[in-house]
Amino acid sequence: MKKHTKLIIGGVLGVGLVAGNTASADNVENFQDIDTDYWAADAIEWSHESNVISGYDDNTFRPSNALTEAQFASIIKNYYNDSLDEGETSENPDHWADDVYDTLEPYGIPLKGYNDNSARNEDVTRGVIAETIAALHQKDPGLEVAVDYLFDEGLTTGSRDGDSRMDRYAPSHSLTRAQFVVFLNRIEEEQGPVINTPESSDDETGENDEEESKEDDSDADNESDEGKTVDELEQEVIKLTNEEREAEGLDPLKRHEKLSEAARDKSEDMRDNIYLEHESPKYGSPFDMMEDYGIDYGRAAENIASTSSPSPKRVVDSWMASEGHRKNIMNSNLTHIGVGLADGDKGTGRWTQMFISTVDSNSHQETNGVSEAEEAERLEEENARQENVTIELTE
């Protein structure tokens, strides 16, 4: 069976960042590696003057270095400093950024380095950046919510072409120090380093009645799911999915054991590595994964999602509201389903639906309604672009 091209995106590891007040101003007043006509020069100068980033001891900024998680966390702490409650100061820290992580942890920021010092030296992803900004601005947890927030506030226009905001944003990609400073400078121009508080409702005009009603419904859904096991939540998604199919006169899908195992492993990989894409750095495409798990099929498809709570109703409703996801759910040629949930530390959920037909037919593979040939072509084009194009957070 034809394999997809695997796209694995990484970055150059940046080390030795000195942030905030940890270096003397005399050493970092100017950056000898930044020309005045450099595309990010104004933003870099702003970050230095605002004491957000000091640079390196040799008076360089190293704009093309990839940003590590610890460096990113330190910059965020410096920028939002006046709005954050300081964490406890360690007398003998195990890592230079211990105090930074202690400060940020209460705010729901999804960093892997809270309990793993080695993760602090890994490249930070665009998805983590989106979820961090959304968390600090008190938005619901979840990658999709965070990406929508950046687009809605005019803080990003994406980094590549795509049919959806998530595709255009490319949450699994890393970015350079210069790219992040430009993004942070845009936040400064649009909003400033203010951690928002929830808006109060307008009882007189009733303008927020509909929004409050949706929140009440969501709370009720969450309460009804409390105490359920992951397996029970996955089974509920299958039940709700089949109810949607049966309402349209379609046969219900049968649960497939191996497919369910693959779907859960995919969700756990997305949670652990903080991404939301069909192409996994670990497993490859969903169709590669099915073959590796020994699953025979004639047709195949996959839906994925990130939700602010592990609610089966919420995720099925969101899929049904999306044309591509709904197309997979309502595909009359598919016969079996596997559902996987990975519950996050902050109550978020990463979901995967995998569908197959065991009927002997021409091989056909879809991700959100995209055929195998179209997906392979897109990945090949993306690989070619990676060799020549620098991925930026904003255009």
Mean pLDDT of successive 10-residue segments in the chain (395 residues)? 28 27 40 85 88 85 91 91 68 78 84 87 91 83 84 84 85 90 88 54 36 43 68 94 95 95 93 82 91 92 80 87 87 94 71 85 51 52 38 28
Given this model, what pLDDT does residue 350 score?
86
Give the CB-side neighbour count of residue 4, counting CA atoms within 13 A: 34
Contacts of 89 (CB under 8 A, 6+ apart): 99
* Dist. CA 160–CA 391, nearest whole Å: 8
Helix pair 230-247, 312-320: axis angle to 10 deg? 40
Answer yes or no: pTM beyond 0.75: no
* Dist. CA 213–CA 34, nearest whole Å: 52
CA dist list (Å): 244 to 88, 220, 240, 316, 319: 51, 21, 6, 9, 11
